[in-house]
Amino acid sequence: QVQVVQSGAEMKKPGASVKVSCKASGYTFANNHIHWVRQAPGQGLEWMGTINPRGGSTNYARNFQGRISMTGDTSSSTIYMELSSLRTEDTAMYYCARLHGSSGGGNLDSWGQGTLVTVSS
Amino acid sequence: SYDLTQPPSVSVSPGQTASISCSGDNLGHKYVGWYQQRPGQSPVLVIFQDTLRPSGVPDRFSGSNSGHTATLTISETQVTDEADYYCQAWDSSTVIFGGGTKLTVL
């Protein structure tokens, strides 16, 4: 069955960078875009961006442009999301999720377990 | 920017029907998905493409979308349905989430 497994919790200082991994299995990795969504404590879901594993093209949310990068490794079916210049407001649970359907109309049908990123001095 | 508006909270008695709305400009022209998020857990897709249920989701969950409003309906609501629910759509190439609705079953 489809599984999406993320790397473990991270604690970072303001100004640092964090890189979170997302390993997919149970389907053909290149066939589905991967999206990243974050959720600050007690808040709603915030879309961060997406990557097409086939070719590596990306589309980032305006709020994160300039300090976010998503990359993929097809040999290990793993996607990486790196967020730089961290601020305390970046403290959140970060999720990766598989897109079911096409960009522009699909939905996120398989979610990782989440990676808690804590930014504190 | 495109916004999706949900009521912050909805309450329902066990066994009754709960309806959660999601409104946006001409939302009926877009496909809407709905996610259930129980406390401490990852979101789970319960409705996609307005009305379709992923395998494993009970048929008590249904969706509709017309005009400016999409609706998630949960019939015969159970205590286990208590969770936060988020609607989701696309605006051009951007994913948009509603602010979420806390469903209380009491």
Closest CA to B43 of B31, B33, B30, B28: B33
Residue B56 has a pLDDT of 95
Q: What is the pLDDT of residue A86?
A: 98
Residue pointed to by tokens 């997406």: A50
Classify A113 as helix, strand or coil: coil
Residues of A in contact with B30 (CB under 8 A): 105
Q: Residues A52, A56, A62, A68: is their CA dihedral positive or negative?
A: positive
Cβ–Cβ of B97/A37 closer than 8 Å? yes
For B48, nearest residue in chain A (alpha carbons):
A107
What residues have CB less than 8 Å from A47, skipping those under 6 apart? Answer: A35, A36, A37, A61, B94, B95, B96, B97
Please check whether residue B2 touches A, CB under 8 A: no
Q: Is the dihedral of CA A88, A65, B44, B101 positive or negative?
A: positive
Q: Are B57 and B63 in contact (CB under 8 A)?
A: no
Q: Given CB atoms, is A3 within the 8 Å cutoff of chain B?
A: no
Read off the DSSP letter of residue A99.
E
pLDDT tens digits, B49-104: 999 999 999 999 999 999 999 999 999 999 999 999 999 999 989 999 999 999 99
Supply A106's token pair.
């699909």
The terminus-to-terminus CA distance of chain A in angstroms comes to 40
Mean pLDDT of B31-50: 97
- pLDDT at site A103: 82
Burial class (CB within 10 angstroms; exposed 0-12, middle 13-18, buried 19+) of B7: middle
Cβ <8 Å between A108 and B33: yes
- Output DSSP code: residue B28: G
CA nearest B10: which of B60, B59, B77, B93? B77
Instruction: Identify the burial level of B31 via C-beta atoms within 10 angstroms of its C-beta, where 0-12 means exposed, 13-18 middle and 19 or more buried.
Output: buried
Of A100, A105, A112, the CB nearest to B90: A105
Q: How far apart are CA A64 and CA A82, in angstroms?
A: 11
Which pLDDT tens digit goes with each residue over A5-53?
999 999 999 999 999 999 999 999 999 999 999 999 999 999 999 999 9
Instruction: Mark which residues 40-79 of B lie under 8 Å from A by CB.
Output: 42-45, 48-49, 54
Name the residue among A48, A45, A41 with its Cα closest to residue A88: A41
Does the CB of A44 have a partner CB in chain B at under 8 Å? yes
